[in-house]
Amino acid sequence: MGYLSCEGAIFAMKRRRPETEKLIQNSICGYENYKGKIIEKVCCSVFTDMRLDLLPRECGRRYINSVGRGRMTSQYEFPWMALIAYKTDRGISFGCSGTIINIYYLLTAAHCVVWTKSIAGVRVGEHDITRQYDCIWDDSDYNCESHIQDIPVAERVIHKGYSYSTSPVRHDIALLRVADRIQYNYRNVGPICLPVARELRDNGLWGRRGLVAGWGETETGRSTNVLLKVSLPVLTERQCQNKYGRNRYTGRKQLVENKICAGETHVDSCRGDSGGPLMAEDEHMGEYKFVQYGIVSEGPKICGSAQPGLYTDVAKYIDWILDNIKLH
């Protein structure tokens, strides 16, 4: 592709540091005719490492001394969790979730932010949406947190290949750029890590267990005001294909590429968890941190049924994410 089509190349040329000159020269991988002019083509993947400066190195840390019991989360367990607020006839209502990935961007599902939805803004730092102050016992002391950030949305970036007319939904991934910087000054707000390292992208979560967090309904159909979590088994690629390999109505083979299957009977993400993360602790830049591998996309009509839920495979979209975020 040409330089202007590669965000990483633009990023490198703007910096024009001595070490980037050779990188730019080495990226040239051919020529093309553009409006009567011969221009250089670049291999955009060469600039992946350069673009990693767009993501924070300090990420995926939980600011807690102990993990909450069962499905209940602790107040500072997942500081990257965000709520998307929508304008409705009854006022402002929270629906989908998302995750903080840098000071300006949230990662979420495309179906949560399509243009037909009227987004009022996002909220970060929340734990219990019914309380003005979130209070917990911490080291024999009663701690109350009130630093909630409600921020308007400046831009929606929806994957151009997103299609809700197919089953499963294709390219269900989007970014929300907020109008003001997300403040990391408080323990209840911070970014999650993404699987940018080659070994994380190659290995993924297949055959392991992951965590999903959200404010969605429980498997009994009851709504929750408190951030909950659930541990899920992640199927292998072959198991995923076997589960969703054929459409029961048409008999046609379904597409589960760029998807992760996770869940088992009575254990699943539910309505309202859409856009939230499927995550796990992994080694990231020499330390064990939380890494987001999936985005809650779609699942069976009955939460917690034998059919696993489907999650957008974040590792397959790292280049897309890096090409669509900026720090200015």
Active site positions, annotated: 111, 172, 274
pLDDT in tens, 73-125: 888 899 999 999 999 998 999 989 999 999 999 999 999 999 889 999 999 99
pLDDT of residue 20: 61
What pLDDT shows up at residue 62?
Answer: 74
Beta bridge partners of 34: 37
Within 13 A of 173's CA, how many CA atoms are on the CB side?
Answer: 26
pLDDT at 250: 45
Residue at token pair 């993400």: 269
CATH number of 198-313: 2.40.10.10
And the tokens for 249? 């109505």
- Residue 218: predicted pLDDT: 47
Structure tokens belonging to residue 321: 């994410």
Mean pLDDT along residues 47-75: 71
Looking at residue 271, its pLDDT comes to 52
Q: With pLDDT > 90 as the criterion, what percentage of the chain qualifies?
A: 38
| CATH class, 81-191 region | mainly beta
Domain 81-191 and domain 198-313, same fold? Reply is yes
**If pLDDT is split at 50, 70 and 90, which confidence band does 241 have?**
confident
Distance CA 144, CA 203 (A): 39
More confident residue, 302 or 217: 217
The two tokens of residue 49 are 């490492």
- Other C-beta atoms closer than 10 Å to the C-beta of 100 total 25
Task: Give the global pTM.
Answer: 0.80
| pLDDT (tens digit per residue) in 285-299 | 888 999 999 999 986
Across 38-54, average pLDDT: 71
Domain residues of the chain, as ranges?
Answer: 3-54, 81-191, 198-313
**Contact call for residues 172 and 110 (beta carbons, < 8 A):** yes
